Amino acid sequence: MKLPSENDVQLDRILSAEEELLPGSGFLSSVMERVEEEAAAPPPIPFPWQRVLSGLLLIAILCAGTVFFYFRQIAEALREVNYSQTPVALPTSPLFTIATWSLTGLLPPLLVLFFLRRMNRGLF
């Protein structure tokens, strides 16, 4: 068993004293000034959720359109395939190329945003 040190004894004596603790002379006025400043401050600028949601909706529509055109091109290519020949050529139209690159460019940032949002679920 450890014996109490001199500092522990002094700390116990100070904490067990029945003295009333009073704040400093300017404490109350400084706290009230801060409260009044906070009350007079303008409200924070709200987050522009309408713009964010409209942008996300636009991105979702573009991704859905890209996927739709991608599968349409695949379906057209499969209709034209002669199954006696190999290999099957994928469509290479300009629209298909643009759609593929658009989807390839949009998916990584969206995935990062999705995972960041899930990791910080309680913060937003």
Range of the domain at 57: 49-119
Q: Report yes or no on 86 lying in a domain.
A: yes
In a domain, 107, yes or no: yes
Bigger pLDDT: 120 vs 51:
51
89 contact partners, CB below 8 Å, separation of at least 6 = 77
In a domain, 110, yes or no: yes
Whether 94 has a pLDDT exceeding 80, the answer reads no
Q: Is residue 108 part of a domain?
A: yes
- Percentage of the chain exceeding pLDDT 70: 83
Residue 95 included in any domain = yes
Run of H or E including 35: helix 27-40
Instruction: Give a yes or no: residue 81 inside a domain.
Output: yes
Q: Which of 11-20, 48-57, 63-72 has the lowest mean pLDDT?
A: 11-20
- Global pTM? 0.38
Residue 91 lies in a domain: yes
Q: How many domains does the chain have?
A: 1
- Residue 89's pLDDT is what? 61
Cβ atoms of residues 96 and 49 within 8 Å: no
pLDDT confidence bin for 33, thresholds 50/70/90: very high
CA distance 80 to 90: 11
